[in-house]
Amino acid sequence: MTNTISIGIHDLSLATTQFVLPHTELAGHNGTDVDKYHLGIGQRSMSVPAADEDIVTLAAAAAAPIISRHGTDQIRTVLLATESSVDQAKAAGVYVHSLLGLPSAARVVELKQACYGATAALQMAIGLVHRDPSQRVLVIASDVSKYDLDSPGEATQGAAAVAMLISADPAVVRIDDPSGLFTADVMDFWRPNYRDTALVDGPESVNAYLQAVEGAWKDYTEQGGHALGDFSAFCYHQPFTKMAHKAHRHLLNTCSQDTDADAVGRALQHTTDYNAVIGNSYTASVYLALASLLDHADDLTGKTIAFLSYGSGSVAEFFAGSVVPGYRTHLRTASHREAIDSRRPITYSEYRKLHEHSFPADGGDHPVPEETSGPYRLVSLTGHKRIYEALRHP
């Protein structure tokens, strides 16, 4: 059930944006009953990047506290997962590597498979540490979720990054064997290279997600995984928080278990708190759920947590983690809450202006307005090159 060497999450840190759009603002613009958002999809607000924030600045802000606490000496690999990349060739993690001052003796790779990418990075990191337990791997999930204005997906947008240090003898969560895997070729959500915003078939996306839950769970049980009753909590990928409720209800039904609201609520308690106010963070979503659970739940020492990571298109993985004794002393609960609470609320018109911002493609010198109060910012696009700077280190 476990690796011969205990490997998992040694540290975890999140970052989000400068601005937040309350769903009351969105409802006012749409003339929609706000309960459609608060109750219907389980969202209350969404993080909105400033003009000088993107997946690189978010990733660096999430990872910097980990580097400050643990140093860089044992980090020889950085894996950055995203589906909102800033370049078709250069890995966004290379910019992060530079901003954090990591050693040149390192490999940096960007991974993509919709919202599943960070779990691929986590599993790759475990393999690298298993090969050499003296090394640590920095895994970062960073995304900006963006849909067309006035589209059905607009209310689910969000942005965040979660950074995790993967090591032997982890201090927070041990990742257990086995994994349940599932892949199916579906067109539920996609973003062609020529589009800045994603396309989604809502009903097909829900169906594909539920199919993946069932398939990944079936494989997990066939691989000899835990029984359903062994899990104290379930962290699901959350394109919107009520999707986690749908997914868990489907899993319970698949296992011929009670599917009433109380049973679902107990399994998901505290895992949706951050996602409800940040919105969909794509690759970071399932690990934002973990951060929320660890920061809000009563003592989880020794408890087994289930993870269901889903990426449209589609790939899913079901796996387990065990919470390590003493984990609470390593949490960053106060800084996580500050990152969320310190966002500045904006009006719908301010949000719309940010949403419509784009760089000219002429290769000229295009400075970016200084808006973020975060530690890193995008300074300009010059000669088709993105220029970043560190304002301060967290």
Which residues, in sequence order, are CB contacts of 215 under 8 Å at separation 6+? 182, 184, 316
Residue entry with tokens 């398939």: 215
Tell me which residues are annotated as active site.
Answer: 83, 115, 237
**Interaxial angle between packed helices 261-268 and 241-254, expressed in degrees from 0 to 180 and rounded to the nearest 10:** 120
Q: In this structure, which amino acid lies at residue 118?
A: A
Decide: 141 and 121 in contact? Cβ < 8 Å: yes
Query: Residue 314: is the preceding peptide bond cis (ω within 30°)?
Result: yes
First-to-last C-alpha distance (Å) of the chain: 38
Q: Which two tokens stand for residue 191?
A: 């973003």
Q: In this structure, which amino acid lies at residue 180?
A: G
Q: What angle do CA 49, 51, 57 make, to 5 degrees?
A: 60
Local structure of residue 172 (DSSP, 8 states): S
Which sign does the torsion angle of CA 71, 74, 80, 86 carry?
positive
Q: What angle do CA 303, 304, 310 make, to 5 degrees?
A: 140
Decide: 235 and 293 in contact? Cβ < 8 Å: yes
Which helix (H) or strand (E) segment holds residue 385: the answer is strand 385-390
Distance CA 36, CA 27 (A): 9
Which CB contacts under 8 angstroms, 24+ apart, belong to 195-198? 196/146, 196/358, 197/146, 197/147, 197/148, 197/151, 198/145, 198/146, 198/147, 198/153
DSSP letter string, 242-303 = HHHHHHHHHHHHHTT----HHHHHHHHTTTSHHHHHH---GGGHHHHHHHHHHHHSS--TT-
